[in-house]
Amino acid sequence: MNVKKNDNVLVIAGKDKDKTGKVIACFPKTHRVTVEGINIVTKHQKPQGQVTQGGRIQKVMPIDVSNVMVICPKCNKATRVAHKVNRVTNDEGKSVRQMVRVCKKCGAEID
């Protein structure tokens, strides 16, 4: 998945189109993400004993990852994500390859 936790994203489809938010959780197996303040549903809940109170509660539900785009922190635009390989030297002096996410519009690193 090109989207990670704590990324700022723009919703491009669905009932919350053109809203932005921060990714709270990612679910790679189902290709879904939970975004703060997006896809809020009302759940009718029964009281569970004396501890939990019943009623209507607002709950954030996951949205498909194909319906969001990452917002580049440098150019502040919704963009597709490219992957670039950087060569970094580790503590032992050996060259190690490191995958980095890159903005398609301005070329800045997203990570």
Question: Which CATH architecture group holds 1-71?
Answer: Roll (2.30)
E strand or H helix that includes residue 32: strand 32-35
pLDDT at 84: 92
From residue 69, alpha-carbon distances to 1, 4, 32, 96, 111 in Å are 11, 11, 13, 29, 15
pLDDT at 65: 95
Convert the pLDDT of each residue in 9-48 to its tens digit: 999 999 999 999 999 999 999 999 999 999 999 999 999 8
Q: Is 90 exceeded by the pLDDT of residue 93?
A: no
pTM exceeding 0.85: no
Convert the pLDDT of each residue in 56-77 to its tens digit: 999 999 999 999 999 999 999 9
* Every domain range in the chain assigned CATH 2.30.30.30: 1-71
The residues pairing with 42 across neighbouring beta strands, listed in sequence order, are 58
